[in-house]
Structure 1
Amino acid sequence: MKHITFILISVVLFSCQGSVQKDTSNDSSSSLPPIGGVKDKHGCLVSAGYTWSKIKEECIRPWEGTITMNVTDTSTNFETAAFVLMDSLKQKAELFINEEEESILLDSIAPHLYANNNYKLIEENHCWSLIHQEEVLYEEKK
């Protein structure tokens, strides 16, 4: 009987120690980078393909819900696509291209034409083209 009582008391004592929670507030693992990679200055998870959209003012994946245009000269460019996002009022277009570090905003100049000092985005025959210094860099294929 003494052995059974001793075993029961031991089980109770040791099981209580298992429920003690460790204080992790001072744990050095909290200084590790977030799972999935580093975030950019806007908090977008770059390794998951997110980038900041100036039009939407949130992190987006440029290839989702945008116009996709293919590069016209594959001999000088490893990127194969550019992406265009337009605001709901079609007053601005946002370009996501490899040639620039962050997206570029273009203003609506006329129906089917957006431009800034460096780029021109034009729609002809229901397909968009991106022009830089009179050279077509990207074209939409339908």
Structure 2
Amino acid sequence: MKVGKICLLFFMSASILLAGCGNAKNKKGEDNLVGNDKDDHGCIASAGYTWSEVRKDCIRLWEQGVRMESVADKANTAFIVFAPDSLQVELFFSNDQPNEILDRRSLPVGGYAWNVEDDDTKNVRQENGKWTISQRGNLIYQQADEDK
């Protein structure tokens, strides 16, 4: 009789656990399947893809961008992604800042910098072989060492 109660308790526990193994649903009531998380542009975030406005394509930042580290806090990173013609650069930040798109400008001393016209809020340029992002003259991000 005792064995019967143990078996009954085991089967009841197993059925409760198995009942919770159904497919999870997303907000639209669809099954949450791997790769079923496309955004408005068709980019699959679970596969590492995000939309790049300057590339007009879904990209993986670590494949297409240049990884930058914050000078103040190495935990904060950014990626810079260049348009195919290099006339624009898109900035992707890790700390929930919105992306920014900067335009290429010729420097009086030669070379280029990317910024917003008549606004020196952020500047992207290459200095001593490394990409940098500065804000109002202060260095805020520099190219991560492994991406030299």
| TM-score by shorter chain over 0.5 | yes
Amino acid at match of 1:41: D
Deviation for aligned residue 1:48:
2.5
| Equivalent residues of 1:54, 1:103 under 8 A apart | no
TM normalised by structure 2 equals 0.62
Deviation for aligned residue 1:102:
4.4
TM normalised by structure 1 equals 0.65
Deviation for aligned residue 1:59:
0.8
| Equivalent residues of 2:80, 2:89 under 8 A apart | yes
2:124 corresponds to which residue?
Answer: 121
Size of the aligned set, in residue pairs, is 111
Extract unaligned runs of 5+ from structure 1.
Answer: 1-28
| Equivalent residues of 2:113, 2:124 under 8 A apart | yes
Q: 1:91 and 1:137 mapped to 2: Cα distance?
A: 22
The residue matched to 1:44 in structure 2 has which SS?
coil
Q: Aligned-pair RMSD on alpha carbons?
A: 2.4
Segments ≥4 residues shifted beyond 4 Å: 99-102
Provide closer, same or farther for how the CA distance between residues 41 and 109 of structure 1 changes in structure 2, counting only shifts above 3 A.
Answer: same
Deviation for aligned residue 1:130:
0.5
1:5-30 per-residue CA deviation (whole Å, 9 max, x = no partner) reads xxxxxxxxxxxxxxxxxxxxxxxx88
1:52-101 per-residue CA deviation (whole Å, 9 max, x = no partner) reads 01122111111103222222111xx633x321121232211111112455
1:93-124 per-residue CA deviation (whole Å, 9 max, x = no partner) reads 11111245543211001133000243111211
What is the correspondence of 1:17-32 to structure 2 with a 5 Å cutoff?
Answer: 31-32=30-31
1:54 corresponds to which residue?
Answer: 53
| Equivalent residues of 1:53, 1:103 under 8 A apart | no
Deviation for aligned residue 1:37:
5.5
Extract unaligned runs of 5+ from structure 2.
Answer: 1-24
Q: 1:34 and 1:42 mapped to 2: Cα distance?
A: 18
Identity, % of aligned pairs?
28
Amino acid at match of 1:106: L
| Bigger-Rg structure (1/2) | 1
What is the correspondence of 1:75-90 to structure 2 with a 5 Å cutoff?
Answer: 78-79=75-76, 81-90=77-86
